């Protein structure tokens, strides 16, 4: 073969040109990956139970789902995380079964559980594919953390509408909460108990847990964003109504702030508080294409950003 091409250099040139042409035309369709593809092998089961404590979630949801999964073949590992108001179960299969068949078996087992508490939402079973990191985008500005996160969430939504950017997560903030601080002196002077305050808040914000009370010099009622999401709405909340028509509102006896649970969970970028948008992709998406879409969006977003926001 080598001797043939030595005697016929024109043929060698044509073959080389053909290979170059084939490479040029096939390049746009090549998949660029950070890591090699690995077939997914895990499922995630999510069950929401509004108003529940982690211990209740563990007993009423996690244990029952785990018992149901015990009857399914080819289960390699089961991990359940019980949090306030939600249970997340991760199930890994063995190599002996197809993922779609395994998903069907797990779904049937979970659907067969009938002893969940009445207000537990129907568990959702989804396949967990591997995701690859693509890029991080930092957003900084002369604004308070709550407003900064709100703007980051707005940018996240706009990125999704832009298209071609698969998964975006906002980092740099702990859980958002409305904090209601009530002094004992205010409660005693108005004849109101901490339980009255807790019941009033829980009644008007029934979709999420009512938080916890700490009996120190000041009473703390921690309330995560629920039906009432703004400080002014909580201030107007009626705690006690008198027979003569008088009312005691939460704003009369409490200091209410919109904040994040843990101040130390923050990210600084160039010595300024920052929100980080972490962008990832699934294994069937091209890394360079996603980066191109991100850069295109950022070029447009920078022109529309508020003064001082970068």
Average pLDDT (66-90) is 87
Residue 293 lies in a domain: yes
Lowest mean pLDDT among 89-93, 182-186, 301-305: 182-186
Q: What are 117's two structure tokens?
A: 């508490």
Print the domain residue range for 81: 42-128
Residue 220: the pLDDT is 45
Residue 166 lies in a domain: yes
Q: What are 125's two structure tokens?
A: 């079973």
- Same domain for 49 and 115? yes
Average pLDDT (75-94) is 86
CA distances from 215 to 184, 208, 212 (A): 9, 22, 10
**Helices 287-304 and 145-162, interaxial angle, to 10°?**
130
Residue 109: the pLDDT is 92
User: What's 52's domain CATH number?
Assistant: 3.30.70.1430
Residue 23 lies in a domain: no
Average model confidence (pLDDT) across the chain: 76
Backbone phi, psi, residue 212, to 5°: -140, 155
Could you tell me which residue, 100 or 198, shows the higher pLDDT?
100
Lowest mean pLDDT among 83-97, 148-162, 172-186: 172-186
Q: How many residues does the chain have?
A: 310
Residue 6 lies in a domain: no
Chosen domain end from 224, 245, 260: 260
Residue 221 has pLDDT above 60, yes or no: no
8 A C-beta contact, residue 173 and residue 266? yes
- Same domain for 116 and 61? yes
CA distances from 143 to 16, 151, 278 (A): 60, 10, 21
Residue 5: the pLDDT is 61
- Same domain for 167 and 182? no
Residue 149 lies in a domain: yes
Region of residue 211 (phi > 0: left; psi between -120 and 50: alpha; otherwise: beta): left
pTM over 0.85: no
Task: Report how far residue 257's alpha carbon sits from residue 181's, in angstroms, rounded to the nearest whole number.
Answer: 9
Residue 253: the pLDDT is 72
Instruction: Transcribe 95-158 into DSSP letters.
Output: TTS-HHHHHHHHHHHHHT---S-TTPPPPEEEEE--EEEEEEEEEE-SS-HHHHHHHHHHHHHH
Q: What are 150's two structure tokens?
A: 């709100």
pLDDT tens readout for residues 245-291: 677 777 777 777 766 655 545 677 777 778 888 888 766 677 888 88
The residues near 255 (Cβ < 8 Å, ≥ 6 apart) are 180, 181, 182
- Same domain for 253 and 183? yes
What total number of domains does the chain contain?
A: 3
Average pLDDT (216-228) is 45
The residues near 158 (Cβ < 8 Å, ≥ 6 apart) are 297, 301
Chosen domain end from 104, 128, 152: 128
Taking the CA atoms of the chain, what radius of gyration do you get in angstroms? Answer: 28
Across 17-31, 60-74, 238-252, 294-308, the highest mean pLDDT is recorded for 60-74
Residue 54 lies in a domain: yes
Residue 187 lies in a domain: yes
Residue 54: the pLDDT is 82
User: What's 137's domain CATH number?
Assistant: 3.30.70.1440
Residue 40: the pLDDT is 66
Residue 77 lies in a domain: yes
- Same domain for 154 and 296? yes
- Same domain for 91 and 46? yes
Residue 107: the pLDDT is 92
- Same domain for 139 and 271? yes
């Amino acid at each position: 073969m080598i001797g043939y091409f030595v005697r016929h250099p024109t043929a060698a040139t044509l073959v080389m040109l053909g290979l170059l042409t084939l490479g040029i035309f096939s390049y746009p369709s090549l998949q660029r990956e950070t890591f090699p593809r690995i077939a997914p092998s895990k499922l995630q089961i999510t069950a929401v139970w509004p108003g529940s404590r982690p211990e209740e979630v563990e007993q009423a949801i996690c244990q029952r789902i785990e018992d149901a999964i015990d009857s399914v073949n080819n289960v390699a590992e089961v991990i359940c995380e019980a949090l306030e108001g939600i249970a997340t179960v991760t199930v890994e299969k063995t190599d002996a079964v197809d993922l779609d068949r395994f998903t069907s078996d797990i779904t049937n087992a979970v659907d067969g559980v009938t002893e969940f508490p009445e207000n537990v939402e129907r568990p959702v079973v989804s396949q967990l594919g591997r995701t690859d990191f693509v890029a991080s985008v930092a957003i900084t500005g002369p604004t308070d953390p709550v407003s900064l996160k709100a703007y980051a969430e707005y940018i996240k939504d706009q990125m999704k509408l832009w298209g071609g950017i698969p998964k975006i997560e906002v980092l740099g903030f702990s859980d958002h909460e409305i904090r209601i601080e009530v002094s004992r002196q205010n409660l005693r002077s108005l004849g109101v108990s901490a339980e009255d305050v807790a019941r009033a808040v829980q009644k008007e914000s029934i979709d999420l847990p009512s938080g916890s009370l700490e009996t120190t010099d000041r009473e703390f009622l921690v309330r995560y964003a629920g039906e009432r999401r703004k400080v002014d709405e909580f201030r107007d909340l009626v705690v006690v109504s008198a027979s003569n028509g008088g009312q005691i509102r939460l704003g009369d006896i409490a200091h209410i702030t919109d904040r994040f649970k843990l101040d130390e969970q923050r990210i600084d970028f160039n010595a300024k508080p920052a929100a980080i948008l972490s962008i990832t992709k699934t294994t069937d998406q091209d890394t360079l294409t996603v980066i191109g879409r991100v850069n295109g969006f950022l070029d447009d977003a920078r022109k529309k950003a508020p003064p001082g926001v970068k």
